Amino acid sequence: MRKKREKNYRLLGLNPYSRIGYFLKDMDSKTKNVKIEDKNRLDQLWNRFKHAEYKLRTLKTARLIAFILLYSSIVSAISSTFLAGYLRDFTTTVLELSGIIGSTFFVIIVAVTSKFVEMYLGDIYVLSAKMIAIYTKYEK
């Protein structure tokens, strides 16, 4: 009982798709005597699951970087307006334009990556449901 609780606590730090992968691997280790066609189907589903998990991690990293850059571009735009009296007019205009354009660009990147993150997360949920359906046929 204690080992099971410790294992569950270790899983709290993982993201949702890694937790799904962990539980699917656990189900895979518990199933035996799987038919050849189901084994082939599971292999295909595992490959698609790993691909979607890789894409999801990549997109979440890109979105995190875009959030950081969005924050820095907003700070740059705000700070350029406060420094207007101390800088020349041309420099102030360039800083304001770069802050506005950068902010718009990074908002678009965050929106697009968020859309793809949701799409791949949905794929992971569907793939895991299919795999669970196959695994439950062969439970002990």
| Residue 49: Cβ within 10 Å count | 22
Who contacts 46 (Cβ-Cβ below 8 Å, separation ≥6)? 131
Domain ranges of the chain: 16-137
Which pLDDT value is given to residue 113? Answer: 94
Section 73-94 average pLDDT: 65
| Residue 6: Cβ within 10 Å count | 10
Which pLDDT value is given to residue 103? Answer: 78
Tens digits of residue pLDDT in 6-50: 566 566 656 777 888 888 888 888 888 889 999 999 999 999 999
Q: Is the pLDDT of residue 116 over 90?
A: yes
Closest CA to 128 of 4, 15, 13, 25: 25
Confidence band for 69, pLDDT divided at 50, 70 and 90: confident
Packing angle between helix 36-82 and helix 16-30, nearest 10 degrees? 170
Confidence band for 130, pLDDT divided at 50, 70 and 90: very high
Which pLDDT value is given to residue 132? Answer: 93
Q: How much is the pTM? A: 0.74
